[in-house]
Structure formats: C-alpha cells, structure tokens
C-alpha cells in the first residue's frame, strides 16, 4: 500500500486516483475547483467515463479515495504526488506550464520529508528539470521528480489505465524507480512492460505517440478526400491497407478531423518545441494544416446541397462530443460545424448521449437540445452526424425518414453503408465515398 496524492482531478487525475485506490493504495485527490470537490465528496463522478462510477463508489466506501481542495492536507502524508494538471496551449502554441510550475512552487514550500513528484500531465521535454528546479527553490528535504506520461483514451480510460499497453517511467533516481515500479506492478501482471528511461525520453515519448496517431488519422483523411475526387471508396482502401500488419487496422477511419483536448494541443506543442531548437517538424506542420481544413469539408457540401442558402433551414445534429463515450467537447469538430451553420442562418437541434450539458454551458440558448436522437430530427431539412456514438449506428431508417422534412444526411463519421442509404431513399454524403442520392 502506498499513500498517494493526485493534484488535478480531471479526466486523467480522477481516473489515475481511482485506479490506484482500486489496487489497494490510499489516495487523496486535490483540486482547486471547490464545486467539483463538493460533488465528488457527495459521491458524484464529475465526468462521463464508462465504468469509472463503480470503482469510484467502491473506493470511496472503502475509505481509500478522498477529496480535498487543500494542497497541504492532500500531500502531507503522501509518498507520491501526481501532477495531473492542465497543460493547455499558450498563445504561441507552446504548452502552458503555469499550472504545473505554480503547484510545484507550492509543493516546494510544503514538503518536509522525501516525496516522489510525478508529472502525469503531457509536458514538453525539459519540464521535469524545471519542476525539479522550482521545487528545489524552497524544499528543505530530499525529493525526486519523475516523468510518467499517461496514454489513456477518454471513453476507455479505466481499461487503459488498469491494463496499459506499457507504462513509461522517466527517472534516473534508483529510489524513485523502486517506488514507481512497485506502484505499477499490479497493472502489468499480464506481462506488458514498464519502460524505465530518462525523463526527457519519457516526456518526448508521449508527444511522439500522440503526434504519430494524429498523423495516421490525417493521412487517411487526405486519402479520403482524394477518393472523392477520383471515385474510389475509402472504406475499401482502408481495409486494403489495414490488412498489412506494418500499417495495422486501427486508427484508419476517416472523418471530419481529429479534435479533443490532446491531439490538437500536443501536435502544436511539439512543433513549437521544435521551433525553439530551430528544428522544423515538416510532417506535423502539414498535419495541423490538413486537420484544420478537414473540419471544414462537410460544410461546403451542405451549402451546395441547399444551393448556397442555409438560412431558415433546420439542421439536426447527432453527436457533439469530440469522440464517442465521452462528454468532452474540447476542440470538437461539431462546434465548428454548429458555428458555421448558425452563421449561415440555419437553426440547430442537437442530441448527444453525454455531452449536451457541456455544450449548453458553452453555447447557451443558441441551439436547441433534444432528449433523444429521433426527437432531434423533427421537421429537419437535414441530419448532420458529428460523433460516432454506437446508438446512432443502427437507427430505424423508416422512422428517421418519417420525422424529417427531407431525407438528407451529411455524415462526418461514415456510420452507414451506401447501399442501405440508397435502399431507404436518402440523399447521403459522407467522407471519401462519393455521393449516392
Ligand atoms: P482536465 O482539464 O480535465 O483536468 C484538470 C484538473 O486540474 C481540473 O479539475 C482543474 O480544476 C484542476 N486544477 C487546475 N489548477 C489546479 C491547481 N492549481 N490545483 C489543483 N487542481 C487544479 O485535464 P485532463 O484532460 O485531465 O488533462 C490533464 C493532463 O493530462 C494534460 O496535460 C493532458 O494533456 C494530459 N492527458 C490527457 C488525456 C485525456 O484524455 N484527457 C490523456 C493523456 C494525457
């Protein structure tokens, strides 16, 4: 059993804290958001993440998982302090380290015995050194700073955390290595590796992983755009190339661009880190450009269909979250589409299984929200699909057609096959598969 503090209780911190509690550790989560801490103390999970609620409840009941707004109280007894704080893009695109360094400064003033301080946030190469220097300004005791980037995916976070493909631990301290190795042992029982390395390599591993994945998606989006021009079917091409083990089947689905809190900011931050070293990441610069354009590819298709006049049209939107199984809307392509539709004078009625409260908070009354996917379709001139939630995959097309004013679907996630759409008499446009009407 280890005593652990997790500072920052968002998508990463809350999953980290809960999963460490689940393996028998004593965990205290610290957050400055008093409302969030209040909700968690009342047993409420403040984010939507499948399977998290069961673990959350169980570990609170077992007294292994507690919450506080007081950093001093949180770290007092902890041997390991995780920093799961935001690292949003600063104005110039570089990762904003003010949360991490601000908390590090406070930690330096508060610690009185040996602690392992762990960067769980995604941070640029050299941050562990900065965190170390910041804590050292005030600390009067021994401590180590470790880089332990997190690879969990929202929507699969609990599974990813409990059974990680690998755990990356960047430290050159044998003492910290031992502590971290023991902590992660229960998570790698199936034989997946704990990879020990230096701090800088660990920090870069995270950026390289996200940038590679963003590149893979973006590459496929470009192929999809070209498919449309030449009359090829991207689904066929996807399966054709994905069957090659060197390429792999995963992460090849084209769409209206990647979003979320990680890929956009991490690719941007790595490019910025490169610039600081007079190094140009040429591929990643192109990835960012192509992705920005990809978010816009469906809108002109809608405009064309309505002969340049979307004014007064009623558009139903299925899916708001940046991907399924999360309520996260950061950098979601749906937000771009909704903004353009409203600008063009259309009205929007949206449905998302989990993300509507977050969008409501952001957009207020400017759009309508439906209580289910069919309600959103009432009298709609077109349906726009922005997120591939499972619940949208197999609708009753007769009902869909019956409640819509016109049987028109713009699908940014390629949910339906062309034949089905044809059979049910829909005008259907998707990504990289030509037009069927
Ligand atoms: P988040 O915005 O969901 O959560 C951050 C939390 O930190 C919030 O609850 C906020 O109130 C709290 N906070 C801010 N300042 C604080 C302070 N001074 N003291 C205590 N708490 C404070 O962020 P997230 O999505 O969990 O991401 C955290 C880090 O993990 C980022 O660097 C991100 O890039 C990285 N990451 C995220 C994911 C993901 O899927 N979301 C995956 C891997 C890595």
Give me the pLDDT at residue 435, please. Answer: 55
Which residue has its alpha carbon closest to ligand 1 atom 3? 10
Three-class SS of the chain = CCEEEEECCCHHHHHHHHHHHHCCCEEEEECCCHHHHHHHHCCCCCCCCCCHHHHHHHHHHCCCEEEECCHHHHHCCCCEEEECCCCCECCCCCECCHHHHHHHHHHHHHCCCCEEEEECCCCCCCHHHHHHHHHHCCCCCCEEEEECCCCCCCCCHHHHHHCCCCEEEECCCHHHHHHHHHHHHHHCCCCCCEEEECHHHHHHHHHHHHHHHHHHHHHHHHHHHHHHHHCCCHHHHHHHHHCCCCCCCCCCCCCCCCCCCCHHHHHHHHHHHHHHCCCCCHHHHHHHHHHHHHCCCHHHHHHHHCCCCCCCCEEEEECCCCCCCCCCCCCCHHHHHHHHHHHCCCEEEEECCCCHHHHHHHHHHHCEECCCCCHHHCCCCEEEECCCCHHHCCCCHHHHHHHCCCCEEEECCCCCCHHHHHHCCCEEECCCCCEEC
Q: Which CATH number fits domain 3-197: 3.40.50.720, 3.65.10.10, 3.40.50.620, 3.30.1490.20?
A: 3.40.50.720
- Topology annotation, domain 298-436: Rossmann fold (3.40.50)
CB of 82 sitting under 6 A from ligand 1 = no
Q: State yes or no: pLDDT of 436 exceeds 70.
A: no
Active site residue 262: yes
Q: How far is the CA of 396 from the centre of ligand 1 (A)?
A: 39
Q: Average per-residue pLDDT in the chain?
A: 96
Per the annotation, does 205 bind a ligand?
Answer: no
CB of 150 sitting under 6 A from ligand 1 = yes
Per the annotation, does 250 bind a ligand?
Answer: no
Q: What percent of the chain has pLDDT over 90?
A: 98
CB of 269 sitting under 6 A from ligand 1 = no
CB of 154 sitting under 6 A from ligand 1 = yes
Give me the pLDDT at residue 261, please. Answer: 86
Within the chain, all domains assigned CATH 3.40.50.720 are found at 3-197, 298-436
pLDDT, one tens digit per residue, over 238-274 is: 999 999 999 999 999 999 999 998 999 999 999 999 9
Q: State yes or no: pLDDT of 74 exceeds 80.
A: yes
CATH architecture of the domain 206-294 equals Orthogonal Bundle (1.10)
Q: What percent of the chain has pLDDT over 70?
A: 99
Give the pLDDT band (50/70/90) at residue 112: very high
Per the annotation, does 36 bind a ligand?
Answer: yes
Q: Which segment of 19-33, 234-248, 423-437 scores lowest on mean pLDDT?
A: 423-437
| Averaged pLDDT for residues 314-330 | 96
pLDDT, one tens digit per residue, over 389-417 is: 999 999 999 999 999 999 999 999 999 99
ipTM for this prediction: 0.99
Within the chain, all domains assigned CATH 1.10.1040.10 are found at 206-294
Give me the pLDDT at residue 65, please. Answer: 98
Which residue has its alpha carbon closest to ligand 1 atom 30? 121
pTM: 0.94
């Amino acid at each position: 059993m280890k005593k652990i503090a997790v500072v920052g209780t968002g998508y990463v911190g809350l999953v980290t804290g809960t999963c460490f509690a689940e393996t028998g550790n004593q965990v205290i989560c610290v957050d400055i958001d008093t409302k969030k801490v209040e909700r968690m103390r009342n047993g409420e999970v403040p984010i939507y993440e499948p399977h998290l609620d069961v673990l959350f409840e169980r570990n609170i009941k077992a007294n292994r998982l507690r919450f506080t707004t007081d950093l001093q109280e949180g770290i007092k007894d902890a041997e390991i302090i995780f920093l799961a704080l935001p690292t949003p893009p600063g104005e110039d695109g570089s990762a904003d380290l003010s949360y991490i360094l601000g908390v590090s400064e406070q930690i330096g003033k508060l610690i009185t015995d040996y602690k392992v301080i762990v960067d769980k946030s995604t941070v640029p190469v050299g941050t562990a050194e900065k965190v170390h220097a910041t804590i050292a300004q005030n600390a009067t005791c021994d401590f180590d700073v470790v880089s332990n980037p997190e690879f969990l995916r929202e929507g699969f976070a609990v599974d990813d955390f409990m059974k990680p493909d690998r755990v990356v631990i960047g430290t050159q301290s044998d003492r910290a290595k031992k502590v971290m190795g023991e902590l992660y042992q229960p998570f790698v029982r199936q034989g997946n590796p704990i990879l020990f390395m230096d701090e800088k390599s660990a920090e870069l591993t995270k950026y390289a992983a996200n940038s590679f994945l963003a590149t893979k998606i973006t590459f496929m989006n470009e192929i999809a755009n070209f498919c449309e021009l030449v009359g090829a079917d991207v689904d066929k091409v996807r399966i054709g190339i994905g069957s090659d083990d060197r390429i792999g089947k995963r992460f090849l689905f084209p769409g209206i661009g990647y979003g979320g809190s990680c890929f956009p900011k991490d690719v941007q931050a790595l490019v910025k880190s490169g610039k600081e070293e007079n190094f140009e990441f040429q591929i990643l610069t192109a990835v960012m450009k192509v992705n920005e354009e990809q978010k816009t590819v469906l809108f002109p298709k809608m405009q064309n269909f309505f002969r340049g006049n979307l004014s007064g049209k009623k558009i139903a939107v299925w899916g708001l979250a940046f991907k399924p199984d999360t309520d996260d809307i950061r950098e979601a392509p749906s937000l771009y589409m909704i903004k353009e539709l409203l600008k063009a004078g259309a009205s929007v009625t949206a449905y998302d299984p989990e993300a509507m409260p977050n969008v409501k908070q952001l957009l207020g009354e400017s759009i309508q929200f439906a209580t289910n996917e069919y309600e959103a379709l009432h009298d709609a001139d077109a349906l726009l699909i922005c997120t591939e939630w499972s619940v949208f995959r197999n609708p009753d097309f007769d009902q869909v057609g019956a409640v819509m004013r016109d049987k028109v679907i713009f699908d940014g996630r390629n949910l339906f096959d062309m034949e089905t759409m044809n059979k049910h008499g829909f005008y259907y446009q998707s990504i990289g598969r030509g037009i069927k009407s």
